[in-house]
A and B are shown apart, each in its own frame.
Chain A
Amino acid sequence: MTLLALKNVTKTFRVNQREVHAVRDVSFDVREGECLAIVGESGSGKTTLANMILGLFGATSGEIHFRDSALPARRPTELRRQIQFVQQNPLSALNAKRSVGASVRLGLETYRIGERAARKAAVEAALEAVGLEPELARRPPGALSGGQRQRVGIARALAVEPSLVVLDEPTSALDVLVQARVLRLLNELRAAKKLTYVFITHDLAVVRNIADRCVVLKEGQIVEMGETTAIFDDPQHDYTRNLIRAVPVVDQTEVQLRDKLGRAND
């Protein structure tokens, strides 16, 4: 079933009297329970799309449908709760002056979920779900490691029990070992909590291992879209091929795949 549908979405910004077409006539569906990746270089319109899905600003034209009805420009609280966000840099996303427990609790307070006492337990449960000790709730984000902070970012998004989570480069600020653990955690949580992900990244190797389907964006337009395995087996567009080939590889089998794509490009 389709959870989220973008229909001919366009976003134009005015910069110095000039029109910048950040997103041009983009349409795709996100199915319930899937992980859909949006990939492309910097400036391809990935984050603009995310911001529109989150309702941070509206589309210039086109519609975004959530559970069969168009999302209004001013979203009611309940709709905002349903669509949550995990950012790239957890240190700048978390308030340095608040304890991580308070940051996670803020969502519960905003959406009026539970009574005061129940919220404390809910915060502990949310932290535990992402593999953090409940004692960490009293600490400021600055006292945590990068991986722990990103887990807090995930706990905060999931504490309010959303159905759709938009993840904007959630692991690109982390080192590879921490990235591997956070990606695994995201995968487990998606299955356990029946979540749907829109996963934004420029890293095709991450996409290959976490996304069911992907949308490839270039200069605000979709150049390719489909099952992840199909796109990697036989990319149709040079832009996609170059994105895959740019990934640093460690295995001989990867080198072979990259060489194959390289030949197709020449």
Chain B
Amino acid sequence: MSLLSIRDLSLSFRGIHGVTEVLHGIALDIAPGEKVALVGESGSGKSVTARIVLGLLQELAAARIDGEVRFGGEDMRGFSRQQFAANRGTEISMIFQDPTSSLNPTFIIERQFAEVIRRRNPGASREDCLRIAGEALAETAIPDVERVLASYPFQLSGGMNQRVMIAMALVNKPKLLIADEPGTALDVTVQAQTLQLMRQLTDEHQAAVFFISHNLGVVREFADRVYVIYRGRIVEDGPTEAIFADPRHAYTRALMAAVPRITGMGLPDIPERSDSFDAPQISHEGGS
């Protein structure tokens, strides 16, 4: 059974210039413990999909959302604002692109950790929180846990903040972790370490991952299954290996060609738009 199941999800925004259609009926499944990537360029609808799962867009008066989102078998359409809020940070947690700016600069790490831990466990004492946070940080192979807990985010490096974010996101044992371009704000070596750490820890915690990225290279390192999204429509999906061995949709091929190669294949000429990008969805065998 799917942990997350999205059916015929559409989204539009009402603005002063009329209605903007953002998602045109997408379908997507994530099984428990599975790592699934949603790949596409800026503006393709990746991040809004994640925000709908978190219940953040539902609060926006200008957003019109249709279609079904089920989490753990429950239909989220009936969720109140409080139910969504109770889910965030406990059942579903999220890691953002830039760890340093997504942590609060005015509080030390210990206090931010306590806030997260108390979402699941409101009665946790300071000692409990310190112990739980220490254990979570130790899992990320941070050498000096006490110093990190007593630091402000700006006193730590980007890579260290990324580890803190990962530890915080997993501390309440969520069933689903949403990772929106994790580590792209960091340099390649730290990004590679981040992906490795995320893979290892989500395996240990048996958490499913909904991984959002524009870079197929990063996705290849991380995901079990891939959905490619273009202008609010899924154009291709399947197991990661199948998609990389045989990308069939013109848009997937363009995305793949755009990744610069360390073997030096030159800089490809990729069109902004092409009718072939709007071709119907292609699904590879072996998906869920």
Interface residues of A (CB under 8 A from B): 41-43, 145-146, 172, 175-181, 183-184, 187, 202-206, 208-210, 228-229, 232, 242-251, 253-254, 257-258
Contact = CB atoms under 8 A, between A and B. Distances in A.
B259 A42 contact: no
18 contacts: A175-B215, A176-B216, A177-B41, A177-B214, A178-B41, A180-B258, A184-B269, A203-B188, A204-B262, A205-B261, A208-B260, A209-B260, A210-B267, A229-B264, A247-B262, A249-B261, A251-B261, A254-B262
B155 to A, nearest CB: 12
A244 B214 CA distance: 20
Contacts of B41: 175-178
Interface of B: 41-43, 157-158, 184, 186-192, 195, 214-218, 220-221, 244, 254-270, 272
A187 B266 CA distance: 11
A181 B41 CA distance: 13
Contacts of A184: 267-269
A234 to B, nearest CB: 14
Given A145-B43, A210-B267, A246 B191 contact: yes
Contacts of A146: 42
B185 to A, nearest CB: 9
A79 to B, nearest CB: 31
Given A181-B270, A249-B220, A208 B263 contact: yes
Contact of A254 (B157, B187, B192, B261): B261
Secondary structure at chain A's binding surface: helix, strand, loop or mixed? helix
A167 to B, nearest CB: 15
Nearest to B269: A184
A206 B258 contact: no
Nearest to A253: B263
B262 A179 contact: no
Given A176-B255, A246-B188, A246-B189, A251 B263 contact: yes
B42 A249 contact: no
Contacts of B267: 180, 183-184, 187, 209-210
Contacts of B158: 42
A41 B262 contact: no
A200 to B, nearest CB: 12
B26 to A, nearest CB: 19
Most buried by A among B214, B244, B264: B264
Contact of A176 (B186, B214, B269): B214
Contact of A257 (B186, B188, B216, B262): B262
Contact of A242 (B184, B189, B262): B189
Q: Closest 4 interchain pairs by CB? A: A248-B217, A175-B214, A202-B187, A205-B260
Contact of B262 (A172, A187, A249): A249
B195 to A, nearest CB: 8
A99 to B, nearest CB: 20
Given A176-B41, A204-B188, 5 more contacts: A176-B214, A177-B254, A202-B187, A208-B263, A248-B220
B187 A42 contact: yes
A247 B269 CA distance: 22
A253 B263 CA distance: 7
Most buried by B among A43, A175, A209, A229: A175
